[in-house]
Amino acid sequence: MNDFFSIIGTIASIGSIPLSVYLYIKSKENNIDKVKREIVRILSYQIGDRRQLTTFEIQTVINSKTRDFKIENSKITVNEIIEDLVSETISNPLLDKGIKEIILQELKSIYFKSELLLTIDNLERDTRPDKYHAIDDSKIEAEIKKIINTRKDLIEKHKELVKNENQQSSLVSNYFGLIATAMTLLIAILSLIGKQNYDSLNDTISEFFEKNDFYIGLVGSGVTALLTGLFTYLTWKFRSEKKK
């Protein structure tokens, strides 16, 4: 029984900091999702009244709500809100098919303009004479044509959102939670193996570890959190690059 409680105590000690970090990340993500739903709800009223939306109105609502909830407005983009609105429109059984198509075309137009403006801003930034490794001006036309050619695929792309809305989203907290669990168990096992070894050593070493169990657990927990954060970042970055 003592061995069982020792194992539980070791796991709890090592997992305390990763758990705190996970809960913090999760609460931040939940807060952002809550704000997104509120923004979509507000803009849905305007769509329901058949009033045309503009990028300015969407961005203004984003700025207002992120300020109310004390969130950086860069965490929520116009395109993300448009995608959520498209998903809501497609999945709404109360909307007439003709009206639904009109709304989707309007949202498609807003999305395209947003993408085009973002591309122009990026090109303007990347072609500045003072920028290191500035891109060649001859590539500008190709980049503009590329974004124009994607216009016809936008609605098809958005329809995929509805098919995949029940799938688990690739949130940072999901990665962190899974990796933190694995890292905590791994370091806890290594700690227990090490404890059995240092118990069999001389009394001085054994006494040192017994007196400093709390600090050893704290250091182990911190190391676990750091390693988990590193692996989470690498995993998230790899998956993001793979989706491009």
Segment 92-127, tens digit of pLDDT? 777 788 888 888 888 877 877 777 777 777 766 666
Phi, psi (degrees; rounded to nearest 5) at 164? -105, 5
Phi, psi (degrees; rounded to nearest 5) at 50? 60, 35
Q: For residue range 183-228, what is the model confidence (pLDDT) as tens digits?
A: 777 766 666 666 656 555 555 555 655 665 656 666 666 777 777 7
Q: Where are the domains of the chain?
A: 2-15+174-243, 34-169
Classify 130 as helix, strand or coil.
coil
Is the dihedral angle over the CA atoms 85, 90, 95, 100 positive or is it negative? positive
Q: Which of 107, 119, 116 is nearest to 158 (CA)?
A: 107
According to DSSP H, which parts of 49-96 are helical? 55-68, 78-91
pTM of the model: 0.55
